[in-house]
């Protein structure tokens, strides 16, 4: 019985660690002096996590000056803020450079997320 429990625990660890590794993520690269970043936060930032897109690809914000070597290995470091990078399993799949406004942002993001299996 003890061996069975150990086996179940190992299977659970493998299953859940694999799911976390393959999770989608929306990386927002911003800066404190970015006016368009502020507009995004006003229009979308407060509701993003409550949307289907936000649940599928949680937001992680990074200041452009604080990009780590680990992040730089996963993405091409942007020159402009805001830049939104869709990651799947830590791999860059798509990016949105700038903030085109709420009416354009959602359709562009949905198209990017569809590449990794998002079904609106």
Q: How confident is the model at residue 17 (pLDDT cuts 50, 70, 90)?
A: very low
41-61 pLDDT per residue, tens: 999 999 999 999 999 999 999
CA angle 77, 78, 79 (to 5 degrees): 125
Residue 26's pLDDT is 97
Q: What does the alpha-carbon distance between residue 87 and residue 113 come to, in Å, rounded to a whole number?
A: 9
Q: What does the alpha-carbon distance between residue 94 and residue 107 come to, in Å, rounded to a whole number?
A: 13
Residue 98's pLDDT is 97
Q: Of the given ranges (55-64, 69-78, 110-119), which has the lowest mean pLDDT?
A: 69-78
CB atoms within 10 A of CB 115: 12
CB atoms within 10 A of CB 64: 19
């Amino acid at each position: 019985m003890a061996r069975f429990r150990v086996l179940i625990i190992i299977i659970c660890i493998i299953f859940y660690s694999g799911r976390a590794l393959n999770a989608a993520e929306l990386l927002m690269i911003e800066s404190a002096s970015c006016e368009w970043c502020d507009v995004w936060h006003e229009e979308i930032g407060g509701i993003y996590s409550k949307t289907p897109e936000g649940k599928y690809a949680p937001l992680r914000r990074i200041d452009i000056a604080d990009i780590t070597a680990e992040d730089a290995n996963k993405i091409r470091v942007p020159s402009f803020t805001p830049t939104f990078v869709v990651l799947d399993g830590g791999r860059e799949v798509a990016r949105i450079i700038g903030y085109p406004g709420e009416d354009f942002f959602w359709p562009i993001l949905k198209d990017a997320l569809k590449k990794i299996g998002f079904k609106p």
